[in-house]
Amino acid sequence: MADEKGPARRRPSKARTSPMRTPAPSPVDSERDLPLKVEMRRLFWMMGASTSLDVKLRAHVSGDSRSPGWQEYTDLDVLGVGFSPTSEPHIMLADCKTSAGRAIERMFWIRGVADFFSADTAFMVRSQLVPAAARTLSNRIGVAVLDPDDFRALLKTYSTSLDFDGPLGHLFDVDSVRRQVESYSGLHKKLDPLVEFTRFDYWTYEPYRNLTQVVAHLADVVSVLDPSIPAHVALFMENAWLFAFAIAQATHHVRTSRMADVPSAVSTYVAGGELAKREKAQLAQLLRKAGFDVDSRSSVLPPYIDPLTELITRFLVRPGEIADVLRYAEYLITASVVGETATVGEAFGVDVRPIAAKLLADACGFLVTAAGLRPAFRELARERLVRDLTGGSSVAQARAEDSTTDVNEKPSSMTQMSLSIADEGQSNIKPLA
């Protein structure tokens, strides 16, 4: 695939990712466990959560010239995300194995991973009977044990009106999930840093950083990310899922810290805290005194802080919609890969929540504008999310927009800010030196 040259853009400032190519998934190692992972995804969905499979954790290291610049910690089979009434994420995780061997040892490993994620619930899922000692240890260290009988009994306690035999069935079909997991193999090499961020680095960054890191990494692949390629659409939608989760974490911070002054709360969160915000402002002031041309505001906050504040406000006033925002993005990730054309409205039927669909469309639109992506990504998101829910009516869409924003003062116009970002070619905080 030939590179597509666009206008010259200043390289966005983002955290370092490994220059190594992303290794292809290894179905041989995990193929036997995939059916268990898919079943746990079904259980988490019936609990009302959204999920991510095969989450890998790694850290960047220095001082060893023989290493590729990073070291992988471990991986997590199934991550489930739900939300409290204050938008606080409720994290669940599951370790799925077809063998019951070394169950006790594995429980302590699961406990450590759960602590890393600040998980509220952790499951050890096995396709065979587990030792009795594992059940004795379960309550002591807070790791639930599910063998086949336990899983079936637990599943019966949850119900859903969603049709898992329709388009949503791809999420719970082993072949479809396998295709989605393997879809990023063999992509253009310039997409490697974005894939690595999506699959690895996002989960090791401080949550506040991901609001800008998603934008920065997308901005770095503007010339190659193509809305006509299904795997590229899936990659964009997966970043929309990650971005929506980062927004949810930001709304919880606002709700519990400074609800009466949303712009101040958002700017403080994005800057990394009050102290970090002051230190950046003081550094900018010192550089100006030294003769450097430094913009006080953009040196502390990203140039898209106003539309970002507006977007977070829209999520903030609709806390009950956030879980569905993630579920809609999750569906579109897999649907893009397997060729499922059903819209969110068609896939979720009578259970679809138009406001949640509109919020995800807003998040996708923000990413397109802030990162400078091709407008077709925005149109594609609208087509799959809101077009059939609003009948294509601009009046209906305007009403949906109005219903999502009503707290404090409305930040500056999203349209005007979008134009300024596109003109400047900026998509992230620039280094001061």
User: Residue 50's beta-bridge partner residues?
Assistant: 81
Final residue before a domain boundary, out of 168, 195, 225: 168
Total structural domains in the chain?
Answer: 2
CB count in 10 Å sphere of residue 131:
14
**344 in a domain, yes or no?**
yes
**7 in a domain, yes or no?**
no
**198 in a domain, yes or no?**
no
Judge if 209 and 149 occupy the same domain.
Answer: no
Judge if 237 and 357 occupy the same domain.
Answer: yes
What's the average pLDDT block by block, 10 residues per block, for the chain (433 residues)? 41 43 43 92 96 84 61 85 90 90 90 92 93 91 95 96 96 95 91 93 92 96 96 97 97 93 94 79 73 63 94 95 97 97 96 97 98 97 92 45 44 35 34 31
CATH number at residue 121: 3.40.1350.10
**195 in a domain, yes or no?**
no
Judge if 267 and 148 occupy the same domain.
Answer: no
Write out the residue range of the structural domain in which residue 160 sits.
Answer: 28-168
Judge if 281 and 417 occupy the same domain.
Answer: yes
Judge if 86 and 137 occupy the same domain.
Answer: yes
The pLDDT of residue 422:
31
β-strand pairing of 144-146 with 121-126: parallel
**305 in a domain, yes or no?**
yes
Judge if 63 and 124 occupy the same domain.
Answer: yes
Judge if 162 and 297 occupy the same domain.
Answer: no
Judge if 249 and 366 occupy the same domain.
Answer: yes
The pLDDT of residue 159:
94
Residue 2: exposure state from Cβ atoms within 10 A (0-12, 13-18, ≥19): exposed
Q: Rounded to an integer, what distance in angstroms lies between the CA atom of residue 393 and that of residue 72?
A: 49
Judge if 235 and 359 occupy the same domain.
Answer: yes
**10 in a domain, yes or no?**
no
Final residue before a domain boundary, out of 118, 152, 168: 168
Give the number of residues written for the chain.
433
**271 in a domain, yes or no?**
yes
Amino acid at 285: Q
**225 in a domain, yes or no?**
yes
Judge if 160 and 211 occupy the same domain.
Answer: no
